[in-house]
Structure 1
Amino acid sequence: MSTHVPISSRPSRIAWIVPSLIEGSGGHRTIFQNIQALIDAGHECHVFVETPGNREFAPGTPEHEQVLHQMRGYFGFACPNVHLGWHVKGQFDLVFATAWYTARFVAGLPIRRKAYFVQDFEALFMPMGDGYLIAENSFRLGLTPLTIGRWLTSKMRRDFDSYGTFFEFCADGRVYRPIGKQRERAVCVICQPEKPRRCPVLSVETMGIIKHHRPDVKVYLYGSREKPNTWFEHTNLGLVNVEQCNELYNTCQVGLCISSSNPSRIPFEMMAAGLPVVDIHRDNNLYDMPEGGVLLADQRPEAIARAIMSLLDDPAKRDAMSKFGVEYMKLRTLERGFAQFVAGVELVLADRAGEFREMNRVLAPMYRQTPVRMLPPKPGDVTPEELAAAADMEQAMRRRLEAEHELAFIDGSRSWRAVQAFKRTAVYRALAHLRFGEGWDHVDPSEDPLARLGRIKNSRSYKLIQQSKSTGVYRWYARRRYGPEFVPPQSTNPPANPR
């Protein structure tokens, strides 16, 4: 991995506080790419990786070697200064937080310059409540934000009086480019049921409307191993590599990628391949989406469908958007984004972060067109079958959210955490390896919540916990700890919230 950034005249020591690694994580990939840019610029970067219980593992231990192997295998990243556990020792010129729950830790470190590598407004990933507010509070700790895209920098200033800078959404022009292929009358849709912020239900409803009005249009869904509930003809490509993505973007006439938080990189990669893009008209998309290459619609599926159909029916507009997108993204190479990030970091290192205030004063939305809105429905526009399919999809989403809620309750319980801590011990791991073989502890990060909940409830560990809670010893202990009115739960479902 090389980023081709200029060498700094003032190399510094920079610490990065990073969450535990997740295979296929785009967030980790972006973190490591920008760390590499700083290394290429001559800075000495130290990466502190989260571990269970914040345990520290020395270089050369199996745990340390495993993380180095995962960094190379998952993300193509190699760094000589990787530390397991957030035990920051020695002198550093700057320290970075990289996720909401790392920010408070960084704020408490005895390092003078502190920054926050912000890739999304993570509070939006949670329901309103403690989780949302605690994640939001991570922006109130005085860390200087360096964000991907203009919207987050603007939001930091408007909502938290926190002034930072941004680096642009860029694309790898060696991968995403026009290849001169004849385009089909088709729409490609990023559909990821495991990522609520990508609005999979809204995307599917939109395509159902299009297939009703334009049955000749091909629909390609991609981006996930999970299959959404659909009632119309389509092709589900599942997970595809970057070369296959570019092939897809050169096959279709329109691309749909809904971003309800910070924009995805995907619309920018679509533009680089010459594909006109449709997204929703919300504040998060107005600061980074160019009018010439993207069409933003009201968030109703009828309006999104109308925007897509207007492009399918207008070859001249599609051609103009295609040419604009290619030219717009030619300047926005990965190297440009890395250089912008490094320049922002070096202003922080030079104690010139105050200059970000002036830049923030002129930061304004770049998309000023009114959104495409829905037309009044006509009799027969929606069939009973489509209404039934939409109801089934809503019910499936509700079951999924209930499963996620119950999983969060189980994962946060003391008894479950104690069992998981025991499973991380060397003795247990050795026995499990002998009994179950290689990969016994592998967890698919994209596993459906309903499937994971069923797997946990059928596990010996879960059943043992439930059985132990029905014993007289546990009842005695619980009443002493929680009071005489304590009643043991019949399951791990949390009680309903009173209205």
Structure 2
Amino acid sequence: MGEKSRQLGSRVSRVTGILRTEGPRALAQRLARYTYNELGAASLGEPLLDDDIADSTELNLELPDRRPPRSRPLRIGWVIVPPSAGSGGHTTLFRMVEALERAGHQCELFLYDRYGGQLSSHERVIRDWWPNIRANVRDATGGITDVDACVASGWDTAHVLARRSPSPMRRLYFIQDYEPYFYAHGSLYSLAEDSYRFGFRMIALGEMVAGLLRSEIGLSPDVTEFGCDTSVYRLLAERDRSGVVLFARPEVPRRGYPLARLALGRFHELHPEVTIHLYGSEVRGLAFPATQHGRLTPTELNELYNSSIAGLAMSFTNISLVAEEMLAAGAIPVVNDSVNSRADLVNTNVTWATPTPQGIAAALGAVVTRSDVSAAARRAAESVRQFGWTKAQADVVRIVEDEVYGP
């Protein structure tokens, strides 16, 4: 037998072995991984085209030579990436857009799609999921023009704003997380970090982000604080609570899905009588039974929280909005303990867990077996700040107006 025949026989044997021991799904996954590597598909994870990468050491961005009178409404641009239905980060940003519109200013959304998707399709998602937004939707690759100021919404859009705003304008940066932490310490980490050196006026959402901008970059941003939409997330009429719930985002490493999955497996072994609910992404290959709800509207999600004793609110960078939304609905959030998470979630009703499978499982178990479930739910809901997002919205309006009109 020749060498090629031996190699072919070996490959067939490996494929047969995988099929027999792990099944067709595992084989398909390995073939997909092999194809992914052979085609160099990892480059598709780079959120910017090469020509849209800015360099802080070379920037010389023009500012207007005069300020408009405060009697004239402003034209404010916002650079965004395409939103998925119900995206939490976009929801927070669009609250700020709404606030500027209510203040009488005209807003423009400049959408950057690194993959060249149809603008009309992205606009349809925006109109369907955020119907209160009146802003026009424009293609950022056509240039960011005809605005008094423009706000970047993430590190990639900060690069786009730096590269595609040829005319003089004021530039700001609404920062919801310390985004270098989204990546391993390498190229994307450095590009994300460099976006904070572009000279834009920075608005940090929360003390975790602000603290890292001070300690890691040496800059002092404007700071506003998290809110919670208590018009949606709130206690409903008294009902029986049972089960635990997880916001599943396997594709987002900072949301800790692999650790949550392992923890829920341990939790099920200890408490097989407790129903486990998942929402968000549909997941497969679970080693425990779970009710999967897929994507839920905020109202549907509030219903689920109101029927649950506890929820897993995992985040390894800035705290997830999910934790306070759970509290408002009376579900006790179990959160992986970290300095970053505690910086903006100061609430004695939160259960902090050692970020290991057993640590999280034990914390969940302690919550579901307590004797005062109904009373704990009421205390949790009453502990949530009732001003919602109004303070953050007022701060952003003030800061944007201050930047353009002058202090």
- Scaled by the length of structure 2, the TM-score of the pair is 0.73
Q: Does residue 134 of structure 1 match 2:206?
A: no
Residue 336 of structure 1 and its aligned partner are, at CA, apart by 3.8
The residue type paired with residue 383 of structure 2 is: Y
The 3 A distance-change label for structure 1 pair 238 and 68 is: closer
Residue 371 of structure 2 is aligned with which of 296, 304, 315? 315
The 3 A distance-change label for structure 1 pair 161 and 186 is: same
The residue type paired with residue 261 of structure 2 is: V
Flag structure 2 segments of 5+ consecutive residues without an equivalent: 1-69
Residue 202 of structure 1 is aligned with which of 239, 253, 259? 259
Question: For residues 119 and 98 of structure 1, what CA distance do their matches in structure 2 show?
Answer: 8
Residue 213 of structure 1 and its aligned partner are, at CA, apart by 1.9
Identical residues among aligned pairs (%): 29
Question: For residues 328 and 11 of structure 1, what CA distance do their matches in structure 2 show?
Answer: 38
How far does the alpha carbon of each residue in 1:159-194 deviate from its partner, in whole angstroms, 9 at most, with x for none? 112222333332322321111333334211222222
Aligned partner of 2:223 in structure 1 is 166
How far does the alpha carbon of each residue in 1:436-471 deviate from its partner, in whole angstroms, 9 at most, with x for none? xxxxxxxxxxxxxxxxxxxxxxxxxxxxxxxxxxxx
The equivalences for 1:388-403 within 5 A come to none
CA contact (8 A) 1:144 1:164 kept: yes
Q: Does residue 101 of structure 1 match 2:156?
A: yes
Aligned partner of 1:295 in structure 2 is 351
Residue 118 of structure 1 is aligned with which of 175, 189, 197? 175
The 3 A distance-change label for structure 1 pair 103 and 247 is: same
Flag structure 1 segments of 5+ consecutive residues without an equivalent: 1-7, 56-62, 353-499
Task: Name the structure, 1 or 2, with higher relative contact order (CA <8 Å, separation 6+).
Answer: 2
The 3 A distance-change label for structure 1 pair 201 and 128 is: same
Q: Does residue 281 of structure 1 match 2:320?
A: no
The equivalences for 1:288-367 within 5 A come to 288-316=344-372, 318=373, 321-349=376-404, 351-352=406-407
The residue type paired with residue 393 of structure 2 is: F
The 3 A distance-change label for structure 1 pair 10 and 165 is: farther
The 3 A distance-change label for structure 1 pair 105 and 269 is: same
Residue 148 of structure 1 is aligned with which of 200, 205, 225? 205
CA contact (8 A) 1:192 1:198 kept: yes
The residue type paired with residue 46 of structure 1 is: E
Residue 66 of structure 1 and its aligned partner are, at CA, apart by 5.3
Give secondary structure in 2 for the equivalent of 1:315.
coil
The 3 A distance-change label for structure 1 pair 90 and 233 is: closer
Residues paired across the two proteins, number: 335
Q: Does residue 30 of structure 1 match 2:85?
A: no
**More deviation, 338-347/148-157:** 338-347
Residue 236 of structure 1 and its aligned partner are, at CA, apart by 2.1
**More deviation, 78-87/281-290:** 78-87
Aligned partner of 1:409 in structure 2 is none
Question: For residues 27 and 166 of structure 1, what CA distance do their matches in structure 2 show?
Answer: 17
The 3 A distance-change label for structure 1 pair 343 and 320 is: farther
Residue 270 of structure 1 and its aligned partner are, at CA, apart by 0.7
Question: For residues 83 and 289 of structure 2, what CA distance do their matches in structure 1 show?
Answer: 37
Residue 47 of structure 1 is aligned with which of 109, 117, 126? 109
Q: Does residue 84 of structure 1 match 2:146?
A: no
How far does the alpha carbon of each residue in 1:275-315 deviate from its partner, in whole angstroms, 9 at most, with x for none? 11110111221111123221212211211122222222323
Question: For residues 64 and 204 of structure 1, what CA distance do their matches in structure 2 show?
Answer: 36
Residue 142 of structure 1 and its aligned partner are, at CA, apart by 2.2
Aligned partner of 1:222 in structure 2 is 279
Question: For residues 270 and 294 of structure 2, what CA distance do their matches in structure 1 show?
Answer: 25
The residue type paired with residue 157 of structure 2 is: T
Q: Does residue 212 of structure 1 match 2:269?
A: yes
Residue 233 of structure 1 is aligned with which of 289, 293, 296? 289
CA contact (8 A) 1:68 1:78 kept: no
The residue type paired with residue 176 of structure 1 is: Y
CA contact (8 A) 1:293 1:322 kept: no
The 3 A distance-change label for structure 1 pair 66 and 247 is: closer
**More deviation, 259-268/305-314:** 305-314
Question: For residues 311 and 161 of structure 1, what CA distance do their matches in structure 2 show?
Answer: 41
The residue type paired with residue 286 of structure 2 is: T
How far does the alpha carbon of each residue in 1:26-46 deviate from its partner, in whole angstroms, 9 at most, with x for none? 333332331121011112223
The 3 A distance-change label for structure 1 pair 190 and 213 is: same
Give secondary structure in 2 for the equivalent of 1:133.
helix
Residue 17 of structure 1 is aligned with which of 79, 86, 89? 79
**More deviation, 38-47/10-19:** 10-19
The 3 A distance-change label for structure 1 pair 338 and 228 is: farther
How far does the alpha carbon of each residue in 1:225-284 deviate from its partner, in whole angstroms, 9 at most, with x for none? x22432223322222222221111111111111111222211111111111111011122
The 3 A distance-change label for structure 1 pair 324 and 9 is: farther
CA contact (8 A) 2:100 2:107 kept: yes
**More deviation, 252-261/318-327:** 318-327
